[in-house]
Amino acid sequence: MLYLTYSKTMAESLATNATRFIFREFVVDVLFFPAWWYGKGFIRVGRFTLTRIAEFTNRSRWSPKVWFQNIFVPMYGDYSRSGRAISFAVRAVVALALTVVLVVAVVAYLALFILYLVLPIAVVYFLLHEIFNLPWPVVA
Amino acid sequence: MTQASQSYRIITCPTCTTGVEPCPGCQNRRAALWVMGRFFVWDKHVDRWHIAEERLQRGMHLALNALLLTIGLGGLGVLVWRLSVDAPTVDTSSVLGFLGQRSLAHLGIAISFVADLIIISRFIKARQNRTLVVPRDSDLLAVPAPDLSWPDVLHQQARFENVSRAFLDVTERAIEGAWMFAERFHHKEVEPLHLFAALFALHDTQVVFGRLGVSSKSLSDRVTRALARLETADHPPRVGVACTSTLLRAYLEALLVSKPVVDIPELIVAVGSDAVVAEILADLAVDDTKLRNVVAWISMSQGRTRSYQKWRRQARFRSKGGMNRAFTAIATPMLDQFSHDLTQLARTGSLNHCIGRDQQFEELFRVFESGRANPLLVGLPGVGKSSIVDGLAYRMVADDVPTVLQDKRLVSLSVASLAGNAGRQGELEQRFTIILNEVARSGNIVLFIDNIQNLMGLTTEGGSKLDLAEMLAQSLGHQNFLCIATTNPADEHRYVEQSSLQSVLQRVPVNEVDTNGAIQIVEGKVGPVEYKEGVLFSYDAIEKAVTLSQRYIHDRYLPEKAVSLTEEAAVYVRKTRGKGGLVTGEDVGAIVSERTSIPVTQVTEAETEKLLHLEDKIHERVVGQDEAVKAVSSALRRARAELRDAKRPIANFLFLGPTGVGKTELAKAVAEVYFGNEKSMIRLDMSEYQVQSSLGRLIGTPGGDGGFLTEAVRKNPFTLLLLDELEKAHPDILNVFLQVMDDGRLTDSTGRTIDFTNVILIATSNAGTSTIQAGILANETLENIKQRLVSQELAKYFRPEFLNRFDGIIVFKPLDFEQVIAITKLMLGQLGGILKEKGVHLRVSDAAVMELAQKGFDPQFGARPLRRALQEHVDNALANALLTGQLARRDIAVLEPGGVVRVEKAKEV
């Protein structure tokens, strides 16, 4: 009797484990992958994008921020009038050029992020289009 | 763990051992862990079916990944191939147009895209760091565990938290391995021992035991024997109470060190605390502390790799040249000539890595941020001042510093090269002014001056009245730039405190690290040494490097002295055993012995033999005086077996007795037998220290060199210190020895503490000789004579507390005639040795020995007249015979009564 109870418990436990595994691997990971994609995945990728943009803006050698902050500070410690004037001009040009670089970088990062957001929708739409013949965009 | 021992409790089920399944008392929970007011259980089935299921699941997980990857990549491949065939130009419209077509192949491509997305999400998820161990809460951990019994625990069943999910896959596999071990041996239960055996198959565990210097054979032999002793049964094994407790303990270990999951290191530590496993480990000289330290070492090196990767990511943002990001810095040509840029060196990873020292960094940053002063690192040489500065450079590269230090470079000024070739009058001052101006104007430089005391008094001959230190102080006073400097306490006191730098520098003390701190630092530093020399360090080697250097090397400081020991040991092992050799504690001990001539390695068989027969060895030189020989021999044996108080000299003896009875001879014999040479002895004739002013000769005078005694012991700490005629010394000098005998150390005039703990102190005195002689004549026992001496005679010269410090006051008996005969033979033997070197043999008749002994014996002067008698009656005759050519090589000199030397000529060759 005792042995039977043991077997029953064991069988139950085996079944629970199997159910859990199937649920985790096939239901959560495969069928409901968009739930993760737009839930935890969204937070992760979003955070990653923000960190990269923040690093680029604040710490990178390509950041225009430090150039704007020091726009009136003469370069190379040249405090003469001409030095100041030249510095201002150079700083302004470099700052503007780096701003363009920054904008490009931010746009690129955002584009990647948007791609992340759009990808599942596009793929699912593509699949549905193949199955149900949904309308398909045509570029002239 | 002390705190933990009060703040947690593992409660086990008392009925689990009855063999009834499932246990009615606990429903197979077996044990519960109470910590931070919560109950944790390890609730998981482990049996053949569950193991098979887990393996199947793992396989299926991998198979699913492989399937998704194949579909995903296959679809992409088909897409690329079709595009290259169907669309000659690849642009948006043609791709869209191609994808817009509907066919079975296109449906396949669409499905493969979905597979791509799923596999991407699965990979990102797998990389995610999951936190499955509850976070540590120090306040809750301070709560002591209540006294709980199993029924109390069961009442809280609803609150049980299952920890089995917090175990990493690899630990799960170890648990499965343990079950399979138990099954293979038909054991009744899975015990921690099985877990230990299963763990040993893993690489991490092998690394741990490799570091502990435990050979896998001796370990597996012991484990196999222990496994054979376990109870067997005819049913499949069940996870036992002890094993469950071990797993809960592993979870607790992870919780206490704030690990997110339970990994192999925690499991190793937990298994190591099981009684059976601990016994096996103790047999292999591994205790809990060692095991923990090694596991921490392995975890630390893994952690360091991660933090290095993080540092590399951060260091990317650093500009490559000396320019700051705002381009406000200026070129510093003069400074560049006489300095090197530490931040640049750190960027390329060329500096030493600084380990720990968080407290010092905090203090350093506080000083910098206050803006009022500049830090001055004050510490003894070797305590890690430069290492802290190197660490600062690394942190500056990653901008892991307060704002005031960010985007700046740390430049080390070389005072030597600055002063070295400044010849012209005023050139040095001029250069230094330019440098200070460059640093101030550049604005992105933190100046580092090592040994700032070198700037004191530095001027060119006939130059300005100000020295460089004064100039620097002025510049720093104006807060023109930031500076960090180092010095040692003595120079700080002598120079810095007297100069104007005092007001612009703020002292940041760098103290010598403690034993554990030093071990951790050395652990961090041996990596590159191992790589360079191609050897591997055992934990024992590192521990010994720290503890032995702490004990026997006193003129240098931790961690430097331990690090240099490990470096030397690594070279030694590479040379003696080749690459791939393991550096053990014995190797480090050998290096220490070589440096200090103190025997610290394990006692070898030959040495054991020597130690056990020390009395015989000494008696080869000293006749009689059994009590004294025995006392000295026992003290030496105790010292070598480390059974003595390590804070006092090896032994302090006072030898009392008339002149010529062997007091000094015994001291010499000890020096020869134990220290290898009778000259390995510091001999002070205390009659030379009769006035108080002679103290200066002993310990040195302020401002002068060290004293004779302190210098001698500092250079050779493992020695015999012989104080002859102690009673003649001035009482103040005796007080100095009072401290030596009590604390085992003495501070010399320069403030250095000299270690006397490896010294054998022997003082001789012939105070009370008449009492001894009278006592012996009256047939009193030596013990009685000694009592009388201590209470009456010696009290005239020494204070009671002084006499109390001696481990033994030994009375030497006056020699009797029999002993004088033995001594005569001994001395003639020595003479024979000298003649043997000249190729001449000496033979002495018994009558001649007797005659010599009679001539040399004087009850008052012991054996002292004997040497004179020997000189007069033997040496002289022999010298004459040698000089006149009567005695030549291979001849035999026969000594006969009356001082006659008869020569037996050898045959001509």
Distance CA B579, CA B276 (A): 36
Look over chain A and give the mean of its residue pLDDT values, rounded to a whole number. 85
Is the domain of B748 the same as that of B701? yes
Based on the domain organization, do B687 and B707 belong to the same domain? Answer: yes
Q: Mean pLDDT across the stretch B88-115?
A: 84
pLDDT of residue B486: 93
The CA-atom distances, in angstroms, between B62 and each of B66, B164, B408, B480 are 6, 22, 50, 63
> Is residue B473 situated within a structural domain?
yes
Nearest CA in chain B to A132: B102
pLDDT of the residue at B152: 84
Q: Residue B92: which of A2, A123, A139 has the nearest Cβ?
A: A139
Domain range for B822: 817-904
Taking CB atoms and an 8 Å cutoff, what residues of chain B touch A124?
114
- Which of B192 and B102 is assigned the larger pLDDT? B192
Report the residue of B121, B176, B442 to disrupt the A interface, i.e. the one with the largest count of A CBs within 10 Å.
B121
Lowest-pLDDT range of B98-112, B364-378, B894-908: B894-908
In this structure, are B749 and B621 located in the same domain?
Answer: yes
Mean pLDDT along residues B445-458: 87
> Measured between beta carbons, which residues in chain A are less than 8 angstroms from residue B327?
70, 75-76
Q: Please tell me whether residues B849 and B799 are part of one structural domain.
A: no
Domain end call among B783, B811, B839: B811
With CB atoms and an 8 Å threshold, state whether B328 touches A70.
Answer: yes
Beta carbons of A17 and B50 less than 8 Å apart: yes
Residue B38 lies in a domain: no
- DSSP H helical ranges for chain A: 2-22, 33-38, 40-58, 65-69, 81-132
* pLDDT of amino acid B87: 67
If you measure CA to CA, which chain B residue comes closest to A124? Answer: B114
Predicted pLDDT at B20: 56
Residues from chain B contacting residue A5 (CB–CB below 8 Å): 21-22
Distance from CA of A105 to the nearest CA of B (A): 16
The torsion defined by the Cα of B807, B813, B818 and B820, in degrees rounded to 10, comes to 90
CATH code of the domain in which B801 resides? 3.40.50.300
* Domain end marker among B811, B835, B856: B811
Is residue B188, in this structure, part of any structural domain at all?
A: no
pLDDT value of residue A116: 93
User: Average pLDDT for residues B469-475, to the nearest whole number?
Assistant: 86
Domain boundary among B122, B149, B179: B122
Any idea which of B196-210, B720-734, B782-796 has the lowest mean pLDDT? B782-796
Q: Is B48 on the interface with A (CB under 8 A)?
A: no
So what's the pLDDT on residue B4? 42
**A126 vs B21: CB contact, 8 Å cut-off?**
no
Separation of alpha carbons B330 and B338, rounded Å: 17
Q: Tell me if B359 is assigned to some domain.
A: yes
CATH code for the domain in which residue B536 is found: 1.10.8.60
**Closest of A123, A32, A136 to residue B114, by C-alpha:** A123
Q: B760 with B701, same domain?
A: yes
> Is A35 in the B-facing interface, judged by CB distances under 8 Å?
no
Binned at pLDDT 50, 70 and 90, residue A7 comes out as low
CB contact under 8 A, B121 and A25: no
How many Å separate Cα B130 from the centre of its chain?
A: 37
Q: Please tell me if residue B66 touches chain A, with a CB cutoff of 8 Å.
A: no
Rounded to the nearest angstrom, the minimum Cα separation between A87 and chain B is 10
Nearest CA in chain B to A58: B317
pLDDT tens-digit readout, B746-791: 888 877 788 888 888 999 988 887 787 778 778 778 788 888 888 8
Of B99, B111, B328, the CB nearest to A75: B328
B746: closest CA among B780, B699, B779, B786?
B699
Q: Which residue of B has its CA nearest to A134?
A: B100
B736 and B678 co-located in one domain: yes
B416 in A contact zone (CB under 8 Å)? no
What letter represents residue B340's amino acid? H
Question: Quick check: B102 and A2 CB within 8 A?
Answer: no
Nearest CA-CA distance, residue B92 and chain A, Å: 8
In a domain, B26, yes or no: no
A102 Cα to chain B: minimum distance (Å): 15
More confidently predicted of B461 and B58: B58
Interface contact flag, A13 B122, Cβ < 8 Å: no
Q: For the residues A33-43, what does the mean pLDDT come to?
A: 90
Three-class SS of residue B765? strand
Q: What is the mean pLDDT of residues B154-177?
A: 89
Q: Does A132 touch chain B (CB under 8 A)?
A: no
Q: B836 and B801, same structural domain?
A: no
Nearest Cβ partner for A10 among B45, B100, B441: B45
For residue B356, what is the DSSP state? Answer: S
Q: Give the number of other CB atoms < 10 A from CB of residue B900.
A: 11
Confidence of residue B463 (pLDDT cuts 50, 70, 90): low
Average of per-residue pLDDT values in chain B: 85
Instruction: Of A38, A17, A42, give the one whose Cα is nearest residue B57.
Output: A17
- pLDDT at residue B449 in the model: 92
Q: Does B99 touch chain A (CB under 8 A)?
A: yes
Least confident of B212-221, B250-259, B620-629: B620-629
Q: Which residues of A touch B325 (CB under 8 A)?
A: 61, 63, 66
Place B603 in a pLDDT band, splitting at 50, 70 and 90: low
The model's pLDDT over B861-879, given as tens digits with 9 standing for 90+, comes to 777 778 888 888 888 888 8
- Gap between the Cα atoms of B212 and B295, Å rounded: 10
Q: Is B102 on the interface with A (CB under 8 A)?
A: yes
Q: Are B519 and B460 within one domain? A: no
What is the ipTM, given to two decimal places?
Answer: 0.85
**Interchain pair A60, B317: CB under 8 A:** yes
Closest residue in chain B to residue A45, using alpha carbons only: B124
Partner B, chain A 73-112, Cβ-Cβ below 8 Å: 73-78
Q: What pLDDT shows up at residue B190?
A: 92
Which residue in the set B50, B97, B117 is minimally distant from A33, CB to CB? B117
Domain match, B559 and B679 both? no
Q: At what angle do helices B288-315 and B539-552 cross, to 10 degrees?
A: 100
What is the band of B704 on the pLDDT scale with cuts at 50, 70, 90?
low
Closest listed residue to residue B455, CA positions, set B510, B414, B412: B414
Residue B220 lies in a domain: no
- A128 to chain B, minimum CA–CA distance in Å? 9
B496-521: per-residue pLDDT in tens? 888 888 888 899 998 888 888 888 88
Mean pLDDT, residues B368-372 taken together: 83
CA atoms of B696 and B732, how far apart (whole Å): 12
Who contacts B903 (Cβ-Cβ below 8 Å, separation ≥6)? B881, B886, B887, B891, B892, B893, B894
**B728 assigned to some structural domain:** yes
What's the structural domain count of chain B? 5
Q: Give me A89's structure tokens.
A: 């001009």
Quote the pLDDT of residue B272: 92
Residues 374-403 of chain B with CB under 8 A from chain A are 399
Q: B117–A123: do the CB atoms touch at under 8 Å? A: yes
- Please tell me the number of Cα atoms within 13 Å of A2 on its side-chain side: 7
Question: Measured between alpha carbons, how far is B554 from B744 in angstroms, rounded to an integer?
Answer: 13
Domain shared by B657 and B537, yes or no: no
B127–chain A Cβ distance below 8 A for any pair: no
Interface of B with A in 443-472 (CB under 8 A): 443
- What is the value of pTM for the model shown? 0.71
Is B292 a domain residue?
A: no
**Same domain? B646 vs B772:** yes
**Positive or negative CA dihedral for B311, B316, B320, B323?**
negative
Percentage of chain A with pLDDT > 70? Answer: 91
- Residue B115: closest CA among chain A residues belongs to which residue? A30
C-beta atoms of B442 and A77 within 8 A? yes
How confident is the model over B399-419, as pLDDT tens digits? 888 888 888 889 999 888 888
Same domain, B646 and B795: yes
For every residue of B416-481, which 3-state class applies, written as one string?
HHHHHCCCCCCHHHHHHHHHHHHHHHHCCEEEEECCHHHHCCCCCCCCCCCCHHHHHHHHHHCCCC
